[in-house]
Structure 1
């Protein structure tokens, strides 16, 4: 119910509710004693400085504490995990506590009463809002207290150190060729000249005579299944999973006359057998849905469709590039082998990948 009297001008309208008034204002110690204000300022700057120290300790812990098979421990937990969590949490916590102390002890301490205004602001209200914002900046003391301002900026800037360091865990950049011999980096896989193509899971090599027209086989490089003298796999654990995900291929046999070889790929197939990366070039989903009569390969994630008879050209869907093709040959025992590694990176497209 409105208590406004429509017959009265706006400037003399009665208040919608009685003014309860405000309690007498109690000044803070930092409002009346400049020495205490300076001490509070140093306290806030100290908190921001300790945040910087925590950010630096995060970087030190990242590079010095051991992880993996022989990792350092602390109270039964991984020392690296504990140290990284404590230091990064401390850096963020100290900035938060410093800002709270700044607001409680150094920013302007005023109590205001303001009636709720209509949702649609007038031009005057907007100007008043800008003026209030500028006043808030002035009352925060950020311009008058360079020690607090500069220490805060330093603490926030130091938080970039953990972020930059953690980017290292994303793996090698596309241009890096880490451990090229063993398929390191994004531009290399385990495939190399003369390596046999074997069936996935079972690891048996494949001859041309093993495949009939229309057969589609999921394959891996033979190196995935290699064992040492003690019978242990040469590649194990996470390294094995990464190697398999990059080197996985789909091999299809079709009539040789159906193949339209790309330029320079005239000898990449063997008696109608072609091999392409199993990883979609859109977002990296595994592909295995084959339409036998058309040689079209469908990605189940977003329906990108590739023509296996025409260098895996994209004929439908969001994929921007054909599937990388693995050049095939036959070794002296009649088994299918790779001529070389893929000539382009496998998997989802990225900005540094050559077109």
Structure 2
């Protein structure tokens, strides 16, 4: 390597150093001019008043279609009701309700974009950044800008177009308001009461779902899990009772057996299990999805909808996810023939915890 006169090493210039130097030299020697804005191309609505008027009419029609579609969706919700005894009725309700909402949003969106594209002033502009200080002069300028925007968009001037847009925007939320309002019915019983009472009760046998076969405790091996319903539910199904599905939805249970030493039993619940066999509601306490995934190694129950996890060894307390409380436990025992039976109903309401937001919990 080359050395200077004092014995120091001379640094060899690399190609990157040379390219940077040459680039700097070019920048120093060159002069750049502002290319300016591209040539402005007039739109057909800018040059032909008839075309402008036609565009305004079409956009107005789109807004009126949006309004009519929102009203149609609102009417469709009642015109095609969901029959609890005929699940196929959901098809008509969903189709016409969805069609109305989708068409309302689509035509409103197309009309808004078309207004901006064909009728608002079409001028290229460059806007310099400025401090955010709110001086009187700045506020005055903001007012001027709003006034200018109003003039350029024609919002105040095009009354028919403006009113049709306002009408469409007002009508758009109506289907959602109707659907949400229908969740409440003053004639219905209190949610906490409905969810607190199930078909489980003292002496009711645990049977397999859907066969209805009673379960002996000796058949429940460690690590196994059974989907369980109350025996009284079978009679409702045989009699084609219209409340069958509602009652089943509240009463479904998951039965498991763990090594007794793994259970951390609360003294107040020492009689709720039998030889490591425990039973818990399958209805997730988040939004009511079926909790049916059981991990044998960790003894965790998983909800597939939003990934809530419950620890079976500690009375199904929540260890992960959005669920707000543990799964309700069903107290069980064994009858004289060795079959598993419930000793009572659940001691708390099953299902989502929305009822906790109310203050009238008395049942």
Q: TM-score, normalised by structure 2?
A: 0.61
Aligned partner of 1:112 in structure 2 is 124
C-alpha displacement of 1:289: 2.4
Quote the residue 1:88 is aligned against.
101
Tell me, yes or no, if structure 1 residue 338 matches structure 2 residue 342: yes
Unaligned runs of 5+ in 1: 73-77
Larger relative helix fraction: 2
Check 1:251–1:53 CA distance in 2 against 1; reply closer, same or farther (3 A cut). Answer: same
The residue aligned with 2:14 is none
Counterpart check, 1:322 vs 2:322 = no
Name which of 243, 262, 265 aligns with 1:260: 265
How far 1:326 sits from its partner (Å)? 0.6
Tell me, yes or no, if the aligned pair for 1:275 and 1:325 is still in contact at 8 Å. Answer: yes
Look up the SS of the partner of 1:164 in the other structure: helix
Conservation of the 8 A alpha-carbon contact between 1:172 and 1:185 = no
CA contact (8 A) 1:28 1:105 kept: no
Matched residue pairs, number? 316
SS of the residue corresponding to residue 220 of structure 1 reads strand
Other-structure match for 2:279: 275
After TM superposition, the structure 1 = structure 2 runs for residues 1-355 of structure 1, keeping only pairs within 5 Å, are 14-16=33-35, 27-29=47-49, 44-45=59-60, 47-65=62-80, 69=86, 80=93, 83-99=96-112, 102-103=115-116, 106-108=119-121, 110-112=122-124, 122-123=129-130, 134=146, 135-167=148-180, 189-208=198-217, 210-211=219-220, 217-226=226-235, 239=245, 243=248, 247-252=252-257, 255=260, 260-263=265-268, 265-270=269-274, 273-278=277-282, 281=285, 284=289, 285-291=291-297, 297-299=299-301, 304=309, 306-308=311-313, 310-314=314-318, 316-318=319-321, 321-330=325-334, 335-346=339-350, 352=356
Task: State the TM-score, normalizing by the size of structure 1.
Answer: 0.62
Provide closer, same or farther for how the CA distance between residues 99 and 342 of structure 1 changes in structure 2, counting only shifts above 3 A.
same
Give 1:56 deviation, angstroms. 1.6
The structure having more radius of gyration, on CA atoms, is: 2
The unaligned stretches of length 5 or more in structure 2 are 1-22
Deviation at 1:196, TM superposition (A): 1.7
Q: Aligned to 1:195, what secondary structure does the other structure show? A: coil
Change (3 A) 1:146 1:205: same
CA-based RMSD: 5.3
Deviation track 1:108-140 (CA, whole Å, cap 9, x = no partner) reads: 3x34376xx9xxx7438999xx89974445411
